[in-house]
Amino acid sequence: MTSENRPALYRSMKLIREFEERCLAMAIAGEIDGGIHPYIGQEAVAVGICANLSERDFITSTHRGHGHVLAKGADPRRLLAELLGTLEGFNKGRGGSMHAADMKLGILGANGIVGAGGAIASGAAWAAKARGDSEVVVSFFGDGAMSQGVLLEAFNLAAIWSLPVLFVCENNRYATSLKLESGLAGGAARRAEGFGLVSRGVDGMDVEAVESAAAELLEGVRAGRGPAFLECETYRFFGHHSVLELLGVEFRDPDEVALWRTKDPIPLLGDQLGEDVVAGIDAAVKETIDEAVAFAKNAPSPDPKDALMYLYAGATAVRPGVIL
């Protein structure tokens, strides 16, 4: 890690933060349908990991996926256009927050089912390896996913077949509202070690620490030494999803939230860059997000008669239900 990378890391984190704060406000205001799961507080994980990936590498993401998608290089205008359900969105308004995907950037989809991405990541990794390509796959998931059987099955498949996958557990201490201690026996990294995965833990509020831990693990993954596991200790500054913010539901001790706020990864890195650099990046990021909001708000909506478009390849005739 060299200090020249710091402005880029800072910018990427700030972009996610600005995007998310704007989204959260728009979701609470009813401008975004459904809800969003804010990533605010966890930016160092997505940014530190994705700093090691090329466009050809794959990621699988989660319901809390905006940060991963943006860190992998997705255009914030098209991500916001997707959240507003428009044709300019990556998914043409068919996916929304929990399914944002950009296949051209190797983003194999955010996923609405906790733990579902790990097995998909393993399959994509196997396909890349079978072709003799050098791509790796990073699968992001939270501590809650560590209790999903399919994810543990995926660890096993990746290990026995020595697949190029980095499993990244974003341990934000809550599985929806369930405290870590009430939901996870034995510890995440120790479970991964049990499957023979090279396993490490890192301070997920320190982007440079995440970047360098991921670099070290990905070196082994890229060299064909099999899958690895990185547990990033982090925290979400807001609740599980925007509806909780709307309802005013808080299930955490305010002192705990305040303590983690002092570990905010963005000012932590910003302090090392100097006020002028930070102010310049902040202003540029704000402008980028302003443009994204304007772009998304002006994007056209899909036609209701096309509601089932893309379901099948070719012209499989779907018989009428509500749409005649």
130 is a contact residue toward another protein (CB under 8 A): yes
**207/2 Cα distance (integer angstroms):** 12
**Which of 108, 107, 106, 182 has the alpha carbon at shortest distance from 144?**
182
Residue type at 68?
H
Looking only at the bridges linking them, the beta strands covering 198-203 and 178-179 are unpaired
Q: Which is nearer to another protein, 159 or 281 (CB)?
A: 159
Residues 28-87 that bind another protein (CB under 8 A): 58, 60
Least separation in angstroms between residue 36's CB and another protein is 16
The residue from 10, 19, 39, 90 that contacts another protein (CB under 8 A) is: 90
Scanning the structure block, which residue is given the tokens 């396909």?
127
169 is a contact residue toward another protein (CB under 8 A): no
**132/134 Cα distance (integer angstroms):** 7
Least separation in angstroms between residue 140's CB and another protein is 14
**Distances, alpha carbon 22 to alpha carbons 79, 222, 251, 292, in Å:** 13, 37, 23, 10
**Site size toward another protein, by CB under 8 A:** 50
Q: Which stretch binds another protein (CB under 8 A): 18-26, 32-40, 99-107, 206-214?
A: 99-107
The residue from 94, 173, 191, 236 that contacts another protein (CB under 8 A) is: 94
173 is a contact residue toward another protein (CB under 8 A): no
312 is a contact residue toward another protein (CB under 8 A): yes
Residues 131-160 that bind another protein (CB under 8 A): 131, 149-150, 153-154, 156-157, 160
322 is a contact residue toward another protein (CB under 8 A): no
Q: Which is nearer to another protein, 46 or 157 (CB)?
A: 157
Q: What is the CA radius of gyration of the chain?
A: 20
**65/86 Cα distance (integer angstroms):** 19
The residue from 29, 310, 322, 324 that contacts another protein (CB under 8 A) is: 310
311 is a contact residue toward another protein (CB under 8 A): yes
321 is a contact residue toward another protein (CB under 8 A): no
Residues 6+ apart with CB under 8 A from 31: 84
258 is a contact residue toward another protein (CB under 8 A): no
Least separation in angstroms between residue 308's CB and another protein is 7
221 is a contact residue toward another protein (CB under 8 A): no
Q: Which stretch binds another protein (CB under 8 A): 46-54, 123-131, 192-200, 292-300?
A: 123-131
SS3 at position 251: coil
Scanning the structure block, which residue is given the tokens 């998608």?
69
φ, ψ (nearest 5 deg) of residue 313: -75, 145
**38/236 Cα distance (integer angstroms):** 8
Q: Which is nearer to another protein, 51 or 114 (CB)?
A: 114
- For Cα atoms 172, 290, 240, give the angle at the middle one, nearest 5 degrees: 20
Contact 245, 239 (CB under 8 A): yes
List of residues contacting another protein (CB under 8 A):
58, 60, 89-95, 99, 101-103, 108-109, 111, 113, 116, 118-128, 130-131, 149-150, 153-154, 156-157, 160-161, 308-314, 316-319
